[in-house]
Chain A
């Protein structure tokens, strides 16, 4: 068993936290795909029915906000890892 000094352990913890923050943000892919899909469908809807533009945009924004929450969770986890554990 190798013994590490406290500075080395702190450095390893910081490195692991920063790496974990980077991995956590992989979750940003999901909301990107979901919001893009919603926006694309909204564009199709507006092209088919231009008079329903206001309703379509409101519904699209609400759906995108709900789709966004998983990405926001990963962002909060990454912020916690960077600013409370890694420093």
Chain B
């Protein structure tokens, strides 16, 4: 019994660049998002209906969250945060389909997203304060605290990505155990809880904490 990502095939033949099932489902999620975005914006109307309505509600939700923490930056940060939010949200929700592995139940996916947020937050901080002024900010309030601040800064992407990974993998393991013990009715409410509720909440939290990290670096 191995809950981790399973290697399906190798990209260049023998044992190099393994392609896991989580990676393949991540590609499927990307393609679904691209097609969905194209369909939602194909013929836009003043009064939205159907898919355009859903897309507008999602964008508005994320825009309001960014504006609440970084006033005036909503339009600029929207593409980045919305990409993360929609990708993670759909990745968490696809686990509801039997046989599909959550792309986020893989530390490579979540750590990659966490590192992207880490880089963007420090880029934003350097853009706001200048490179030297930003690095000087780590030595405050006294210079002795510099290593402590640096370690605290490096712990951010780890806690950020392990939170999502742990939630999705923990839910997956519990569902797997229930499947081996009682495969008939019991897994249905568990799927609803771990994939629909926890998945949606974790996607929202990942996006909001990404906004919070960027906002803290800009201060």
Do A and B come together as binding partners? yes
Q: A interface vs B, CB < 8 Å?
A: 58, 61-62, 65-66, 68-69, 72-73, 75-76, 79, 83
Q: B interface vs A, CB < 8 Å?
A: 1-4, 159, 162-163, 165-167, 169-170, 173, 201-202, 204-205, 208-209, 212
Give complex CA distance A65, B205 in Å.
7
- B2 adjacent to A83 (CB under 8 Å): yes
Using A61-B204, A61-B205, A62-B209 as known contacts, say yes or no to A83 and B3 having CB atoms under 8 A apart: yes
- B4 adjacent to A69 (CB under 8 Å): no
Give complex CA distance A83, B1 in Å.
8
The chain A residue sitting closest to B208, CB to CB, is A62
For B205, what are the chain A residues with a Cβ–Cβ distance below 8 Å?
A: 61-62, 65
The chain A residue sitting closest to B212, CB to CB, is A62
- A83 adjacent to B162 (CB under 8 Å): no
> Could you tell me the distance in whole angstroms from the C-beta of B12 to the nearest C-beta in chain A?
26
- A65 adjacent to B173 (CB under 8 Å): no
Most buried by B among A66, A72, A73: A72
The chain B residue sitting closest to A68, CB to CB, is B163
The chain B residue sitting closest to A70, CB to CB, is B159
The chain B residue sitting closest to A62, CB to CB, is B208
- B4 adjacent to A83 (CB under 8 Å): yes
Q: A65-B205, A68-B167, A69-B162 are in contact. List 6 more A-B contacts (CB 8 A).
A: A62-B208, A62-B212, A72-B163, A73-B159, A75-B166, A79-B169
- B163 adjacent to A79 (CB under 8 Å): no
